[in-house]
Amino acid sequence: MKRRTFLKLSATLPIFAATSHGPLVSIASAQQKDFNPQPGNWRTYEMTTRIELLKPTGVSRVWVPLPVVESDYQRLRGNRWSGNARVLEPVAEPSYGASMLYAEWVESEKSPMVEVISRFQTQDRAVDWSKKTPVRADAAELKKWTQPTDLMPTDGIVRETAQEATKGKRSDIDKTRALYDWMLANTYRDVKVRGCGIGDIKAMLETKSFGGKCADLNGLFVGLARAVDIPARDIYGIRVGPSAFGYKSLGAGTANVTKAQHCRAEVFLKDYGWVAMDPADVAKAAREETGELIKLDHALVAPVRAKLFGGWEGNWLAYNTAHDVTLPNSTQGGKIGFLMYPQAETANGRLDSLDPDSFKYTITSREVTG
């Protein structure tokens, strides 16, 4: 089948029509949950990241993501850190302003350790679609969010797919809705993918491998939006608390959030400004809420599908919006696609950030009350 023909057909598939991703089931005993994030209730969290390098060799280095996003859904209340590093200072990458704590140890240090504590406030997001308020924004700034990145090209098969999915749509909101629906009809959460995925959207489309996790799925959504000139961006972060609506798949189940990283997406719509989006979490709820793959019109998933087009829950910390990140002072590796995990290197090379046990880092979170 020709690629263009395939894309046209795939865009018209019914939601989760293919069953190769796992069995589609209907959970008769499940009760519908009132998933309805609404702004207005600020919550305060404190998150602690502790890193211990088990096998330091030569000069060792660590980069710990620091939250830099200040917005109408997140307020930063400061960071503090401690450790036995020779150098311990905040640094930033120049293109997107992603912030991180940089730690460097001398060769003689046998037990490198650093700890970072971040305090912040979050609230839910939800757009009121009935209230149009044309938003002025700097044209150059918006253009930045339509540009390609190393893992997110906007030409070739990416543009072809986006144009086919939005065929006949004129307004930015109608195009965004068409892309959101295309994502839910064609992609799925693949639990076998390590971490949050890689986000190589061209490879996903060329190989027709539409399974992935948040960096793959929301990255694809952002890339498709940019390909039809809708400003869009990934926001890289981590879940810090349970879902207030009882969804185990959409929150942190324990105080240990070491493996709770999650990226979300935003699009800029001329009548609404920056609007929250998270098709990846719709796929997550469909795949993991019951342990079986359930349909998107199921009572458990339908409200998530509706509300994550324009909103999300505030049990999550946003770090940054950076792509193609060069780690300052690194000597052992090239750029990384995004900064959402602690990074480290020794004289033997870059460590595996998705293996916190051998890397030896833990991230814990607690809500601060009173």
Query: Would you list the DSSP string of 296-330?
Result: TTSTTTHHHHHHTBSEE-SSEEEEE---SBPPTT-
CA distance 212 to 207: 13
Helix (H, G, I), strand (E, B) or coil at 289: coil
Residue 248 has pLDDT above 50, yes or no: yes
Q: Which two tokens stand for residue 241?
A: 């608390």
Residue spans of the domains in the chain: they are: 3-22+124-320, 43-122+337-368
Cα–Cα nearest to 267, from 231, 305, 221: 231
Residue 18 has pLDDT above 90, yes or no: no
CA distance 11 to 1: 15
Query: How confident is the model at residue 12, as a pLDDT?
Result: 35
Q: Are the C-beta atoms of residues 57 and 90 closer than 8 Å to each other?
A: no
Q: Which CATH class is domain 43-122+337-368?
A: mainly beta
Residue 80 has pLDDT above 70, yes or no: yes
Mean pLDDT of the 124-153 span:
95
Residue 62 has pLDDT above 70, yes or no: yes
Under CATH, what is the fold of the domain 3-22+124-320?
Answer: C8orf32 fold (3.10.620)
* DSSP state, residue 270: T
CA distance 342 to 360: 10
| Mean pLDDT taken over the chain | 91
**Residue 254 phi, psi (nearest 5):** -140, 175
Query: How confident is the model at residue 10, as a pLDDT?
Result: 37
CA distance 309 to 287: 18
Helix (H, G, I), strand (E, B) or coil at 45: strand
Query: How confident is the model at residue 297, as a pLDDT?
Result: 93
Q: What is the pTM of this model?
A: 0.91
**Per-residue pLDDT tens digits for 181-197:** 999 999 999 999 999 99
Q: In angstroms, what CA-CA distances link 313 with 98, 106, 126, 134?
A: 23, 42, 9, 25
Residue 13 has pLDDT above 70, yes or no: no
Using the structure block, give the residue that is written with the tokens 């390909």: 227
